[in-house]
């Protein structure tokens, strides 16, 4: 595995791989790798001849300066893990490489970006994500890019941007990887104290309560969200939002039917956690 910091080095390495007939898989990340990240790299390894991973803590998608400052960083450890998983090229640009300072252009996906995480974190969050992903797609020029279902709204928005702007990139969305007790893996989990780590399970529990209500025949999103939120509160966690929406449009579905995204965000101790499940709801 080669580690590079400049755009020119990425383009050269990708061109050399393409010249040998290899397809290019790309996994954009912010580092502090866990098994969720590694699952994307392994999927890329299975599907593509040349695997590129970017490691860049993108400042423009953070709405909270303290969250950006506290974001875990361990490039040396990440590089060891990426190498062990068969990554060919690790791209670790510094901020000035991607944002030299005179940028006037951003990419925004309207409609999908204002709700859920966009409502909580502000309109700038997804604009930061889509702008940096568009830049990275232009730098790496992959055939396939891999994203996690853990960030369901992000994956949907990136898919929409890719279609609307005709990026010649296939978006492959991979399942959420969880700890054995159900907690969705996240780079932020490492900042949880022992008691907070236990309380963090409330998110998965809330999702399970919603799944059980749907399975029992309830089709009232507001009622299901209220009972799931109450179950989380009993475990000492106050949801920032608990939503059941169309998995395609992120808009309400009344009564619930079709593919539904059940999504939750909640602060636990010093961190803000998100989780979600997809449920296929049969019409009753
Ligand atoms: P991040 O470094 O948090 O920006 O994440 C980089 C990629 O890994 C994104 O596509 C995330 O959705 C994905 N990812 C993060 N956590 C998980 C997880 N627990 N399971 C699967 N994918 C994940």
Please state the pTM of the whole predicted model.
0.98
Q: Residue 93 has what DSSP assignment?
A: -
Q: Whose CA is nearest to atom 7 of ligand 1?
A: 29
Residue 136 CA to chain centroid, in angstroms?
15
- Tens digits of per-residue pLDDT, 182-239? 999 999 999 999 999 999 999 999 999 999 999 999 999 999 999 999 999 999 999 9
Residue 130: closest CA among 61, 42, 54: 61
Inform me whether the pLDDT recorded for 278 exceeds 90.
yes
Residue minimizing CA distance to atom 14 of ligand 1: 148
Q: What's the CA-to-centroid distance between 154 and ligand 1, angstroms?
A: 10
Provide the mean pLDDT of the chain: 97
Question: Which atom of ligand 1 approaches the CA of 151 most closely?
Answer: 12
Distance CA 147, CA 130 (A): 13
- The DSSP line for 245-279 is EETTT----SS--EEEEEEEEEEETTEEEEEEEEE
Q: What is the mean pLDDT of residues 256-280?
A: 98
Report the atom number in ligand 1 closest to the C-alpha of 32: 2
Task: Give the span between the Cα atoms of 242 and 200, in whole angstroms.
Answer: 15
The response to whether residue 29 sits with its C-beta less than 6 Å from ligand 1 reads: yes
Contact indicator for 232, 203 with CB cutoff of 8 Å: yes
Rounded distance from Cα 54 to ligand 1 centre (Å) = 12
As beta bridge partners, residue 266 has 273
Distance 254 CA to ligand 1 centre (A): 30
Q: Is 111 helix (H, G, I), strand (E, B) or coil?
A: coil
187 CB within 6 A, ligand 1: yes
* Closest to 275 measured CA to CA, from 201, 169, 222: 201
Tens digits of per-residue pLDDT, 81-139? 999 999 999 999 999 999 999 899 999 999 999 999 999 999 899 999 999 999 999 99
Show the tokens assigned to 261. 């995204």
pLDDT computed for residue 147 by the predictor? 98
Question: What backbone phi and psi angles, to 5 degrees, belong to 278?
Answer: -100, 135
Q: Which residues contact 206 (CB under 8 A, 6 or more apart)?
A: 228, 229, 231, 232, 239, 242, 264
Residue 37 annotated in active site: yes
Catalytic residue among 34, 37, 96, 205: 37
Q: Is 78 in the pocket of ligand 1 (CB under 6 A)?
A: no
């Amino acid at each position: 595995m080669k580690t590079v910091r400049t755009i020119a080095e990425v383009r050269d390495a990708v061109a050399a791989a393409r010249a040998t007939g290899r397809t290019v898989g790309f996994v954009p990340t912010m580092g502090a790798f866990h098994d969720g990240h590694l699952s994307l790299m392994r999927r890329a390894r299975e599907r593509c001849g040349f695997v590129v991973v970017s490691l860049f803590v993108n400042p423009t998608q953070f709405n909270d300066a303290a969250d950006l400052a506290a974001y875990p960083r361990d490039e040396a450890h990440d590089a060891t893990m990426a190498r062990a998983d068969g990554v060919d090229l690790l791209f670790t640009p510094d901020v000035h490489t991607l944002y030299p300072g005179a940028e006037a252009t951003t990419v925004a996906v309207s409609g999908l970006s204002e709700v859920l995480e966009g409502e909580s974190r502000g309109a700038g969050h997804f604009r930061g994500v889509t702008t940096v992903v568009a830049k990275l797609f232009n730098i790496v020029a992959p055939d396939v890019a891999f994203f996690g279902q853990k960030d369901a709204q992000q994956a949907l928005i990136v898919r929409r941007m890719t279609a609307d702007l005709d990026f010649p990139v296939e978006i492959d969305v991979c399942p959420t990887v969880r700890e054995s007790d159900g907690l969705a893996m996240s780079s932020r989990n490492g900042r949880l104290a022992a008691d907070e780590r236990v309380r963090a399970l409330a998110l998965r529990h809330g999702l399970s309560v919603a799944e059980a209500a749907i399975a029992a025949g309830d089709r009232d999103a507001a009622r299901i969200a209220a009972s799931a939120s109450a179950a989380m509160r009993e475990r000492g966690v106050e949801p920032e939002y608990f939503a059941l929406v169309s998995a395609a449009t992120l808009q309400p579905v009344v009564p619930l039917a079709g593919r539904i995204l059940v999504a939750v965000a909640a602060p636990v101790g010093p961190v803000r956690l998100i989780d979600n499940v997809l449920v296929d709801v049969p019409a009753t």
